[in-house]
């Protein structure tokens, strides 16, 4: 989706999550959850993504998910035009590099496409 280079030269790709991201997501972003829990989150996300109700973005550095963002769309007819961003997490080792900002910008682009 989006690729950028941080000020200190780290190449970061913001993209949709994949099931293969589970181990690095668990390790880098969701350490209070077990690997099985993260896999289940992702499996549920894919069903929601198929229906267009949710997206999970990851920030990828060298093939590892070091950031996570969830974007939920309202299903209610009166609020169908709204979305909610939650669970924005970046591994502290990669903090203060603009990664969360880029994930939010990518989520906003996705949300605007739904209008």
> What is the extent of the structural domain holding 34?
2-114
pLDDT band at 68 (very low <50, low <70, confident <90, very high): very high
Per-residue pLDDT reduced to its tens digit, 89-103: 999 999 999 999 999
Q: Write the CA distances from 87 to 7, 20, 105, integer angstroms.
A: 25, 19, 15
Residues in Cβ contact with 87 at an 8 Å cutoff, skipping those fewer than 6 apart = 68, 69, 70
Cα separation of 115 and 59, whole Å?
25
pLDDT mean over 61-74: 96
Please count the structural domains in the chain: 1
pLDDT band at 17 (very low <50, low <70, confident <90, very high): very high
Which residues partner with 43 through β-bridges? none
pLDDT band at 109 (very low <50, low <70, confident <90, very high): very high
Q: Residue 106: which CATH number?
A: 3.40.630.30
């Amino acid at each position: 989706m989006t690729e950028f280079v941080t000020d200190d030269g780290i190449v970061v790709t913001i993209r949709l999550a994949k099931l293969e991201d589970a181990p690095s997501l668990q390790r880098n972003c969701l350490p209070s959850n077990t690997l099985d829990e993260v896999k289940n989150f992702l499996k549920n996300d894919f069903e929601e993504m198929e229906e267009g109700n949710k997206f999970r973005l990851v920030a990828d550095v060298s093939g590892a998910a070091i950031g996570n963002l969830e974007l939920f769309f309202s299903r209610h007819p009166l609020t169908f035009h709204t979305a909610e961003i939650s669970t924005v997490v970046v591994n502290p080792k990669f903090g203060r590099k603009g990664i969360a900002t880029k994930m939010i910008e990518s989520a906003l682009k996705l949300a605007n496409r739904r209008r």
